[in-house]
Amino acid sequence: MTRENITDILCIGCQKGSTSWLHSVLSTHPGTHAFPNIDPVTSTNKEAHFWDWNHKRGVDWYRTLMAPEDPALKSMDFTPEYAFLNEVQIAECKALNPSAKVIYILRDPLARAVSAIRMHMLWRLGKDHAEPLHMDDTFRFFLNAARLTQHGDYLRNLRAWRRHYPDLIVLNYEDFHTNREGSVRRIFADLGLDIDAANQQRLKKLMGSRVWESAKFPMDRSVLMFLQGLTWRFRQETQAELGMRFAEGERLLAG
């Protein structure tokens, strides 16, 4: 059997939108396939990073990496940096994966930005770092490292991806908290996977677990307000166009 797609299930973000958790959830199903972890060429067995890190290795490399032993399995690549691929890259993705299911999880733009900055702080400063983040050069360093305007510009990204994948699946991260059971059932159904075939023990454990969170490094109010301003457009546009409601940011600002 020849495979139609190199990758059958693409999750393109957002970064800090519980993509790792969703990857684990879908991995409980015998019909899915995660490629082998060849870190640091890939990031674990979840992110193949074909278009950003590994494009130079060529299409055959990507095809070989993603190919399951049983060609009927659905191969997964969950790389959040795919969210902001350009038009040419997405067109290539469509050519390589013409009938792939594409998932884009959107998260409250402020909460996502805060979480992303914290992730970079963790990498750079270690988990025992205690000094709050102030409005200074350290903050500006993380601000640039986190590529907030690329990861955060949901509508731009969504429009670009929908041109090639009009039936892309869009989810609100908050639904995993307010209605986890229903959201997960919906995703399995949209992917054509029977949820009852999943490993119920592992699935149950994940359904009860916390979505992975970065360490809660404290931040000055000024930093939060700056990030609120930076992400305001993204919030307004996304809520208006998709009818989504984001509530996480308000709670963050209320302390």
Partner 1 sequence: MSRENAADILGIGAQRAMTSWLHQALSAHPGTWTFPDFHPVTSSTKEAHYWDWNHKRGPDWYKVLLRPLEEGKKSLDVTPEYAFLTDRQIEECKALNPGARVIYILRDPLARAVSGIRMHTVWASKNAPAEEVSLEMNQTFLDRCERARIWDHGACAANLRRWRRRYPDLLVLNYEELRADPLAGFRKVLSHCGLDWQGLDEAARETLTERARRHVWATPRYALSPDCLHFLAGAMWPLREALTKETGITFEEGDALMEGVA
Interface residues with partner 1 (CB under 8 A)?
Answer: 135, 143, 149, 221-223, 225-233
Q: Least distance to partner 1 from the beta carbon of 137, Å?
A: 12
Both structure tokens of 176: 């995993």
- CA–CA dist 78, 49 (Å, integer): 9
Residue 61 or 226: the one with the smaller Cβ distance to partner 1 is 226
Both structure tokens of 105: 């999880």
Q: Least distance to partner 1 from the beta carbon of 214, Å?
A: 20
Residue 72 or 247: the one with the smaller Cβ distance to partner 1 is 247
- CA–CA dist 202, 53 (Å, integer): 32
Residue 138 or 149: the one with the smaller Cβ distance to partner 1 is 149
Q: Least distance to partner 1 from the beta carbon of 147, Å?
A: 11
Q: Least distance to partner 1 from the beta carbon of 103, Å?
A: 27
Both structure tokens of 179: 């209605």
175-182: which pairs have CB atoms within 8 A and are 24 or more residues apart? 176/18, 176/21, 176/211, 177/211, 180/207, 181/207
Strand partners, 212: none
Q: Give me the phi and psi of 103, to 5 degrees please.
A: -115, 130
249: enclosing H helix or E strand = helix 248-254
Residue 22 or 227: the one with the smaller Cβ distance to partner 1 is 227
Residue 156 or 186: the one with the smaller Cβ distance to partner 1 is 156
Q: Least distance to partner 1 from the beta carbon of 106, Å?
A: 19
Q: Least distance to partner 1 from the beta carbon of 228, Å?
A: 6
Please name the residue that has the structure tokens 């989810």: 171
| DSSP code, position 56 | G
| CB contact at 8 A, 206 and 176 | no
Please name the residue that has the structure tokens 């979480």: 115
Residue 96 or 135: the one with the smaller Cβ distance to partner 1 is 135
Residue 135 or 211: the one with the smaller Cβ distance to partner 1 is 135
- CA–CA dist 193, 30 (Å, integer): 9
Q: Least distance to partner 1 from the beta carbon of 245, Å?
A: 16
Q: Give me the phi and psi of 26, to 5 degrees please.
A: -70, -25
| CB contact at 8 A, 112 and 214 | no
